[in-house]
Amino acid sequence: MEKSKFRMPTAYTILFLLIVLVAVATWLIPAGAYDYVDGVPQTGTYHPVAATPQGLGGVLKAAFLGFYDAVDVCVFILMVGGFLGVVMKTGAIDAGVSNVIRLLGGREVWLIPILMLFFGLGGTTYGMWEETMAFYPLLIPVFLAAGYDAVVGISVILLGAGAGVIASTVNPFATGIAAGFAGVSLGEGILLRMIQWVVFEGAAIWYVMAYARRVKRNPSRSVVGVGAGKLHVSAEETTPLTTRRKIILAVFAAIFLVMIYGVIPFDEMGLPLPALGWWFPELSALFLVGGIVVGLIDGLGEAELTETFVAGCADMLGVAFIIGISRGITVLMNDGNITDTVLHWGEEALAGAGPVSFVLLVYLIYLPLAVLIPSSSGLATLSVPIMAPLAKFAGVGGDLVVTAFQSASGLVNIITPTAAVVMGALALGHVPYDRWVKFVWKLILYFLLLTLVFLAAGVVLG
């Protein structure tokens, strides 16, 4: 009798188990808090507070409270789903993908470095991360049709943008906030971060291209199986690329370009371009309008357009749930008053360390902190005001604290199950979490070791 093989739990189960573990931690970890001024914790003010351990009720409510906390992201994902549902209904995507594969004629592998550089530039300049969720349903079918697996499609976006976020140069949502709390300018340490970006982005591109070539030569080497997942467009399909579909594809591309322009904070980056200051409410409206425009161009009736848009939203409902549940972990930690305690332990561990030891310890401490607090801006606000003053006593510049923080936060957020983008992307590609870990763990190790070298060099050369 054949023994049953272990099956990795679904993303929902993994996240629920993490919520349970955090709830248990609220009974074991002492409750404490810093004094805050304008939402910023003050160094040396940590003190015990009344324990608020989270029981069964807290566990059951955590996912819903997380959903409320992340409702803007969730609605955005639903609107993207509705928009893509309408575009897919027109046949424009099928025709476009078939045409691209035919034009590339076996050179599809070069899509990998081109697209990864695009996402990497977005990641390093303005922290392109949550916005990438709109691209997975678009690009995963392209790589499936080209004979790769869903992991390649996910990696092009996730690792391309992720490597950029790790080495954020002028990212105002991570580097900018952290630099402000560290009392340094955005330009301090930028040379080190630019070199880091070139090295990391190059390593990520090499890693993904090497895997893609292996899968193309021998499909059995795929960690999930070629064609795994429901999103699939055959390269042999010959949907005609009519004039109407070309117009729809032009509108489709314009929507994504407007999205990218709308979220870039040109004013904070010192660029002479008008900043729209858009975020998820505006982006949700953009995709809603885009879906209506595409439907009208294709001649869909009111009833058919509405039903198609709603069906597209329904396809994304599972991803929206995952994002909400993952946000519930942070909510539960805050309700249990243990977030500041974990941060205080890091503060104590750094006391008395030398310059090189200090900056390496800061990086290593940020790794578990980033798992518990996956929001880079939230982690910067909570921790950098504590770490930066300690760095002065150790003889370390605030710019290295910023680099250590963003490198750890960016690294963790391409693998941790508490990161909504990771779990959402895997859900869209129908890739089990353990398969993703099996694929990416070596690159994570490379990034970790390279970061230690960069930080140590920064202390020595600084």
H/E run at residue 47: strand 47-48
Q: Which of 71-75, 131-135, 435-439 has the highest mean pLDDT?
A: 435-439
CA 283 to CA 289: how far, in whole Å? 10
pLDDT for 329: 86
pLDDT for 396: 92
CA 134 to CA 127: how far, in whole Å? 15
Residue 222: pLDDT band (50, 70, 90) is very high
- Number of Cβ atoms within 10 Å of the Cβ of 344: 19
Average pLDDT of the residues in 412-425: 91
Cα-based distances in Å from 458 to 61, 303, 453? 45, 61, 8
Q: pLDDT of 13-63, one tens digit each?
A: 888 898 999 999 999 999 999 998 888 788 889 999 999 999 999 998 988
- What value does the mean pLDDT of the chain take? 88
DSSP-assigned letter for residue 264: -
Cα-based distances in Å from 201 to 94, 162, 196, 302, 449? 30, 9, 8, 45, 15
Residue 232: pLDDT band (50, 70, 90) is very low
CA 455 to CA 274: how far, in whole Å? 35
pLDDT for 226: 62
Q: Are 276 and 261 in contact (CB under 8 A)?
A: yes
Q: Is the pTM of this model over 0.85?
A: no
pLDDT at 113 over 70: yes
Average pLDDT of the residues in 414-424: 90
Burial of 57 (C-beta count, 10 Å sphere; 0-12/13-18/19+): exposed
Average pLDDT of the residues in 85-100: 83
DSSP-assigned letter for residue 147: T
CA 360 to CA 417: how far, in whole Å? 24
Q: Which two tokens stand for residue 169?
A: 């140069």
β-strand 36-37 against 32-33: which pairing, if any? unpaired
User: Taking the domains of the chain in order of start, what are their residue ranges?
Assistant: 12-45+53-461
- The share of the chain scoring above pLDDT 90, in percent, equals 46
CA 308 to CA 337: how far, in whole Å? 45
- Number of Cβ atoms within 10 Å of the Cβ of 40: 15
Q: Are 123 and 160 in contact (CB under 8 A)?
A: yes
pLDDT for 1: 41
Q: pLDDT of 351-387, one tens digit each?
A: 878 999 999 999 999 999 998 888 888 888 889 998 9
pLDDT for 231: 44
Average pLDDT of the residues in 229-254: 73
Residue 6: pLDDT band (50, 70, 90) is low
CA 219 to CA 227: how far, in whole Å? 10
Q: Which of 84-93, 269-278, 319-328 has the highest mean pLDDT?
A: 84-93
pLDDT at 155 over 50: yes
Planar angle of CA 309, 327, 438, nearest 5 degrees: 90
pLDDT at 8 over 80: no
Q: pLDDT of 163-219, one tens digit each?
A: 999 999 878 778 888 988 898 887 888 899 999 999 999 999 999 999 999 999 998
Q: Where are the extended beta strands (E) located within 53-124? A: none
Strand partners, 36: 41
Q: How many CA atoms lie within 13 A of 20 on its CB side?
A: 6
